[in-house]
Amino acid sequence: EDQVTQSPEALRLQEGESSSLNCSYTVSGLRGLFWYRQDPGKGPEFLFTLYSAGEEKEKERLKATLTKKESFLHITAPKPEDSATYLCALTMNRDDKIIFGKGTRLHILP
Amino acid sequence: GAVVSQHPSWVICKSGTSVKIECRSLDFQATTMFWYRQFPKQSLMLMATSNEGSKATYEQGVEKDKFLINHASLTLSTLTVTSAHPEDSSFYICSARDLASGGYEQYFGPGTRLTVT
């Protein structure tokens, strides 16, 4: 069965304290892995797409990496405005559907 | 980036009535749109895939007669919740994929909060 597992469920960091969020997956025929940010009461905001192991993408304080079994979202020197739920999702070769993980709720303390 | 809008952003309706939610791709054409629902502190659950000019494909356990989907144009899909009941109260979110970009990511609307009283 295709699965996407994110850890930790929740993470509290001090402002400036770097960390990483994990997304592990077991799927057949991975086509792409996505990272989204979701603020309370809003739809997910697209951050990155990763297609192959070894690929990395960066945007401001965020960097996403991909291996054959997992992806990491690294947050460097986070600020309070980085507080949100970060969702990992992926799509397989067989169709256009996206499977979401349960997300990591990140809270950055000032 | 690709922009998706939803209308209304929130709606309150009485039990037994129907509610229509619109999803529009503003700066791209979308042959396929997706409808999700999200309960508090839970992740998104795909309800159905909406295909322009053809019938929607519903996920297992989703009542197609209750959640009517129409995708009449390349920029508009609608979700109608028929005979709504309190248990239908949820956050409904649509998404679309910009085929012209060549990417597989989906772009999401801001969501619609439905409360059935």
pLDDT at B53: 84
Q: Is A94 on the interface with B (CB under 8 A)?
A: no
Total number of residues shown for chain B = 117
pLDDT at A59: 95
Contacts of B41 (CB under 8 A, 6+ apart): none
B43-56 b/e (C-beta count within 10 Å ≥ 16 → b): bbebbbbbebeeeb
Distance CA A86, CA A22 (A): 10
By Cβ distance, the residue of B43, B46, B113 closest to A102 is B43
Mean pLDDT of chain B: 94
Mean pLDDT of A13-21: 98
pLDDT at A7: 97
| Residue pLDDT, tens place only, B12-28 | 999 999 999 999 999 99
Contact (CB<8Å) B104/A44? no
By Cβ distance, the residue of B103, B104, B108 closest to A43 is B108
Distance CA A57, CA B98 (A): 20
| Residue pLDDT, tens place only, A40-79 | 999 999 999 999 999 999 999 999 999 999 999 999 999 9
Closest by CA position to B23, among listed B84, B101, B107: B107
3-state secondary structure of B15: coil
